[in-house]
Amino acid sequence: MSTDTAAVVRATVEDRVLEIVLDRPPANALGAPIVDGLTAAVARLADDDVRAVLVRSAVPGYFAAGADIKQMGTLDGPSFAAYRDALRHPLEALAASRVPSVAAIDGLALGGGLELAMACTLRLATPASTVGLPEVKLGLIPGAGGTQRLTRVAGRGVALDLMLTGRSVDGTEAHRLGIVDRLVDGDVVTEARALARGLAASSAPAVASIIACVDAAAGDVAAGMAFEGEEVVRMITEGEAPEGIAAFLEKRRPVWA
C-alpha cells in the first residue's frame, strides 16, 4: 500500500474490531487513494482476530461525499468501468462478509459514501447527518450497489423517491425511512465502536449465521425457512451453542473461541 493510500485510510485492530478510518480532506471523496485504501483494509476481514468492523471518518462533517467528480471528468467508458469495478470490489467484500460491520455516519454520506455505508451490516447516524444518492443530477445512476441496496434497505418507493429526485435527507428522516438503523444524539463514533465491540465479543458462528439467515429472507420464503432450520442445528453440531447452553445452566459467562 502506498504512503498516500495509508494516509487516507487507516486500518487497525483492537478488541477484535477492525476499525477503518477515512481521512481524505476536505470531503473523503472516493477517488483512487480511498478506493485503494479501502481495498487493502477490507482484505483484513480474513484475519483470524477480526470479529467485527467499524467504518468511520476522521474528516469533520463528512462520512464520505461520494465519487471524486474531478477524477470522473477525465474518464472514458472503459476507464469509468474500471473505476466502477475498483470501487465495487471492497464494498462487495464488506457486504458479502459474515463479519458484522457498523458504519458511523457523522455528517454527509452522499453517493458512493452512502453506498459504502449501505454495504455495512448496520448504520448509525446523528440527526444532523445527511444521506442521499444525488447521481441523477449528474446524469448518472448509483453504480456501486446503490440502486440495489437502498431498495432492499428502505423499499422501492423510498429508493425511487431519493434516486429520481436526487434529494438528500437528514439523519432523523433517514432513520424513519429505515436507511439508518440507530439515531444517536451524542457521539455516534463512540456508540458505533461500542456496538462493534459487543458484536465482536459474541459467538462468531451465531453472528455469521444470523446475518446469512437474514440475507436469505430476501428470497423464497420456503427456501429461507429451510436454510434457517439447517443453520440452527449446525449451531449445535458445528457452532458454539453447546458452550452457550452449558454456561447458562452453570450460571457463568460463556467462553467463545
Among all residues, which ones are annotated catalytic?
67, 112, 115, 135
In angstroms, the Cα distances linking 192 to 30, 100, 122, 175, 195 are: 22, 12, 9, 15, 5
Cell representation of residue 104: 458511523
Rounded Cα distance, 29 and 23, in Å: 10
The strands making up 62-64's β-sheet, listed across from edge to edge, are 62-64, 108-110, 130-132, 168-170
**Helix (H) or strand (E) segment spanning residue 55:** strand 52-57
Measured between alpha carbons, how far is residue 141 from residues 87, 97, 146, 172, 238 in Å?
Answer: 15, 25, 8, 25, 43
Rounded CA-CA distance 192/129 in Å is 15
Closest alpha carbon to 121 in 39, 37, 207: 207
Question: Can you list the positions of beta strands (E) in 101-190?
Answer: 101-105, 108-110, 122-125, 130-132, 168-170, 182-183
The torsion region of residue 251 among left (phi > 0), alpha (psi -120 to 50) and beta comes to left
* CA separation for the pair 209, 73 (Å, rounded): 43
